[in-house]
Amino acid sequence: MPGPTDDKDRTKKTYWLDQRRNVDRLVYGLVAICGLLVVADLFYHKHTHFAFEGWFGFFAGFGFVMCVILVLLAKEMRKIVKRDEDYYD
Amino acid sequence: MTESLNPALILILGGALLPLAPDAVRRWGTLALPVLALLALLSLPFGEYGQIRVFGYALVTLRLDSLSFVFALIFHIAAFLTALYAWHVRDTVQQVAALVYGGAAIGAVLAGDLITLFVFWELTAISSVFLILARGTERAFRAAMRYLIIQVGSGVLLLAGAVIKVQATGSLAFDYVGLDSPGGLLIFVAFGIKCAFPLLHNWLQDAYPEATVTGTVVLSAFTTKLAVYALARGYPGTDMLITIGAVMTAFPIFYAVIENDLRRVLAYSLNNQLGFMVVGIGVGTELALNGTAAHAFSHILYKALLFMSMGAVLLRAGTVNGSDLGGLYKSMPYTTAFCIVGAASISAFPLFSGFISKSLILTAVAAEHHWFVWLVLLFASAGVFHHSGIKIPYFAFYAHDSGIRCEEAPKNMLLAMGLTAFLCIAIGVFPDTLYAILPYAVDYEPYTTTHVITQLQLLMFSALAFTVLVRTGLYPPELHSVNLDADWSYRRLLPMAFRHLGSWHQRLTDRVTRTASNSLRAVFDNLYQHHGPQGMLARDWPTGSMVIWVAVLLGFSLLLYYL
């Protein structure tokens, strides 16, 4: 069974993502893309089925808020459902 | 035309004969049989074949129409891709099980009557369990037994429903069933178990992650999508399915967020994706059923791709626990890339397969004005990106560097992942190819400005939420743990109840025996006291005293006589 191997050359090599600076750049890039996508709402006519879809930035706000709620609720859920790994053994 | 060859039989019989062949032939056989079966499928015009009579009932063992074709086609593609992925595995049991299982699923989809459906339905259960058993661990064995009981149970319900239906209607044909028809509810529950309806779902998250590296990929393709097909055939437009499906999209994602085993995370998201298909069946319009078929088609590919990438991680790194992984992109760059393609597809990014299939369902739901269900599906869409789109690649390949340095996946795995990834992108870029084979004519354009921008807003802001939560430390860490789910009811509650019932029964019997033996003892003691060695009635009396008593009695009677 091939397991983790200790390859010194590969361990030493630094990757672009290893630098905190570059990760920050990615985050700023994501924020910029998000900003552009919201602004884009001003420049086209939305074809919608429901009135609320037409609200400015509806999908952006919904995506952000619901994901935060999802994670925080799931975290609370852990208090009830989480058990030790060998619970069933 | 009863002599047409059923593609399912090519896989099942071919698979059954495989153990007789030498190793090299066997390996090529696993690839060649799906191709042969696919050719047999493509050469068949739509129609009914293989009609036989059993006990006076007409069976249609092979029915090819626009609905069964889509599912049969993707099952063949999945059988080939998973065989390629498992090319390096030299385990005859798994090779045979995978082929027979795929063949059984195809046979069930092509079945025109409920008895043929039942036979293949049970064969999928019995063949697939070997893919879990082959893992060879105690955990896998126990999960496999639970899986088998539930799957076979589903088949028994199906048979019971079929028997009631044929008693009442005299027909075994597998067409629209509906909840009101005789036996309709039993068949519905049978399908619901295999489709992992809420509270009937847990066999999926329990068993799939315990199967072998390649077995999980095979399992992910067939069973649940067979159930989706069966529901689409038997229960289109059943309102209850809209609610059931909406619940299915939403609740598994909460578990997916806190689950550590990344293959189990994928099992939860598989459940969530099935929800979209079930909602489509519940809506039941042509657009919705097209959406269900299209989504099943693209789902099988991207879900297999995600399971393949996690299988490769399990094979090379020895674990798929999010808490133990990280930084694997350095060792497995190709697997990382393919995983991201799968993640983008399941998240429905424009130009990937999920975008052009899931939107059919959402549009159909909106067209029927189910605004609340539509919002639930939108929430689930954001959620699926969150846990499958980001969490899976992030914790396996990025996050903090776990220090694990391993080999890239074997070449055959990379090839299988590459082909699957190619199909995911091809379907996303050329949606009309998929739309052309859907059950009904498609009048839908996925690439509109509104759809692309709103979808990107939804996804990018979900990504932003993830980033903010991780950076602020609010994101729950990956932990070694078990999360209680519905399986707790039969893995803990029932055994506990039985134990309590057992000890209560024990106490009751103790008391009954004690009371009974006490009263018996009292009776015996009483008998002993009077008839025992010291008992008054058992004493040896001297003959003389007897004579005296006789004389007394005689004297007494003489006295009475004179009086």
Residue A73 lies inside a defined structural domain of this protein: yes
CA B440, CA A57: separation in Å to the nearest integer? 34
Section B124-133 average pLDDT:
96
Residue A86 falls inside a structural domain: no
Let me know: does B280 contact B225? Beta carbons within 8 Å: no
User: Do B165 and B243 belong to one domain?
Assistant: no
Residue at token pair 């009309």? B432
Do B201 and B248 fall into the same domain? Answer: no
Domain presence at residue B519: no
**Residue A88: inside a domain:** no
Q: Are residues B345 and B357 in the same domain?
A: yes
Q: What is the pLDDT of residue B1?
A: 41
Residue B553: CB atoms within 10 Å: 10
> How many angstroms separate the Cα of B73 from the Cα of each of B6, B66, B219, B222?
13, 11, 17, 12
For residue B148, what pLDDT is reported? Answer: 96
Domain of residue A24, residue span: 9-81
Q: pLDDT above 90 covers what percent of chain B?
A: 78
Q: Which residues of A touch B329 (CB under 8 A)?
A: 15, 17
The answer, yes or no, to whether residue B4 has pLDDT greater than 80, is: no
Q: Are residues B249 and B226 in the same domain?
A: no
Q: What is the pTM of this model?
A: 0.88
- How many domains does chain B fold into? 2
B334 in the same domain as B293: yes
Residue of A nearest to B398 (CA): A17
Highest averaged pLDDT of the listed ranges A83-87, B259-263, B476-480: B259-263
> Among residues B212, B235, B258, which one ends one of the domains?
B235
Same domain, B99 and B155: yes
Residue A11 confidence (pLDDT) above 70: no
* Chain A residues in contact with B453 (beta carbon < 8 A): 37, 40-41, 44
The answer to whether A60 contacts B474, with C-beta atoms less than 8 Å apart, is: no
Instruction: Find the radius of gyration of the CA atoms of chain B.
Output: 33
Residue matched to tokens 């994901």 = A67
* Closest residue, chain A, to B142 (C-alpha): A89
> Is residue B557 included in any domain, yes or no?
no
Residue B315: phi and psi, rounded to 5, are: -65, -45
Rounded Cα gap, residues B224 and B105, in angstroms: 10
Q: Which of A44-58, B264-278, B370-384 has the lowest mean pLDDT?
A: A44-58
Q: Taking CB atoms and an 8 Å limit, are A30 and B467 in contact across chains?
A: yes
Q: Identify the pLDDT of residue B35.
A: 97
List the single best residue of B254, B448, B467 to mutate versus A (max A Cβ within 10 A).
B254
Distance in angstroms (rounded) separating the CA atoms of residues B451 and B461: 15
Radius of gyration of chain A (CA): 22
CB contact (8 A) between residue A5 and residue B366:
no
Query: In Å, how far is A28's CA from the nearest CA of chain B?
Result: 10
- CB contact A60 to B (< 8 Å): yes
Q: Do A71 and B454 touch (CB under 8 A)?
A: no
A13 neighbourhood in chain B, CB within 8 Å: 330
Indicate the residue among B203, B235, B267 that finishes a domain.
Answer: B235
Report the Cα B227 to chain-centroid distance in Å.
9
Determine contact, residues B327/B399, Cβ cutoff 8 Å. yes
CB proximity A55 to B under 8 Å: no
| Cα–Cα distances in angstroms (integers) from residue A22 to residues A10, A12, A19, in the given order | 20, 18, 6
Residue B105 CA to its chain's centroid (Å): 13
If asked whether residues B251 and B228 sit together in one domain, one would say no
* Cβ within 8 Å, pair A82-B462: no
Could you tell me whether strands B47-54 and A82-83 are parallel, antiparallel, or unpaired per DSSP bridges?
unpaired
What's the residue count for chain A? 89
Q: Of residues B65 and B2, which shows the higher confidence score? A: B65
A83/chain B closest Cα distance in angstroms:
5
As given in the structure block, the two tokens for residue B5 are: 């060859």
Nearest-Cα distance to chain B for A13, in Å, is: 9
3-state secondary structure of B418: helix
If asked whether residues B243 and B214 sit together in one domain, one would say no
Q: Which of B450, B461, B483 sits opposite A63 (nearest CB)?
A: B461
Tens-digit pLDDT profile for residues B465-487: 999 999 898 888 888 888 888 88
Say how many domains are in chain A: 1
DSSP, residue by residue, B99-144: HHHHHHHHHHHT--BHHHHHHHHHHHHHHHHHHHHTT-SHHHHHHH
Mark whether B399 and B348 lie in a shared domain.
yes
Query: pLDDT band for position B147 (50/70/90)?
Result: very high
Q: Which tokens go with B266?
A: 């994928």
Query: ∠ CA B340-B346-B351 to the nearest 5 degrees?
Result: 75
Nearest to B460 among A37, A61, A75 (CB): A37
DSSP secondary structure letters along B356-392: HHHHHHHHHHHHTT-HHHHHHHHHHHHHHIIIIIIIH
For residue B135, give the amino acid letter: R
A45: chain B residues, CB-CB within 8 Å: 450
Whether residues B170 and B38 fall in one domain: yes
Q: Is residue A39 part of a domain?
A: yes
Q: Measured between CB atoms, which of A46, A60, A81 is closest to B483?
A: A81
Rounded alpha-carbon distances, angstroms, from residue B168 to A35, B111, B130, B175, B230 = 63, 21, 37, 15, 21
State whether residue A2 sits within 8 Å of chain B by CB. yes
More confident residue, A69 or B486: A69
Choose among B499, B494, B501: nearest CA to B149.
Answer: B494
In a domain, A54, yes or no: yes
B138 and B260 housed in the same domain: no
Chain A residues closer than 8 Å to B331 by CB: 10
B51, B1 Cβ separation under 8 angstroms: no
Residue B540: the pLDDT is: 67
CA B186/CA A66 separation, integer angstroms: 37
Phi and psi dihedrals of B51, rounded to 5?
Answer: -80, 125
Q: Which residues pair with B51 in a beta bridge?
A: B60
pLDDT tens per residue across span B489-511: 888 888 888 888 888 999 999 99
Q: What is the pLDDT of residues B436-476, one digit of tens each?
A: 999 999 999 999 999 999 999 999 999 999 999 998 988 88
Lowest mean pLDDT among B136-140, B289-293, B325-329, B557-561: B557-561
- The domain containing residue B385 runs over which residues? 237-483
Residue A3 confidence (pLDDT): 44
In a domain, B508, yes or no: no
- pLDDT score recorded for residue B3: 55
- Residue A25 inside a domain? The answer is yes
Backbone angles phi and psi of B409, in degrees to 5:
-60, 155
* Confidence label for A12 from pLDDT (cuts 50, 70 and 90): low
State the pLDDT confidence band at B187, using cuts at 50, 70 and 90.
Answer: very high
Distance of CA B288 to the CA centre of its chain: 23
Compute the nearest-CA separation of A76 from chain B (Å).
10
Same domain, B78 and B144: yes
Give the integer Cα–Cα distance in Å for B215 and B129: 9
- Among residues B483, B502, B523, the one where a domain terminates is B483
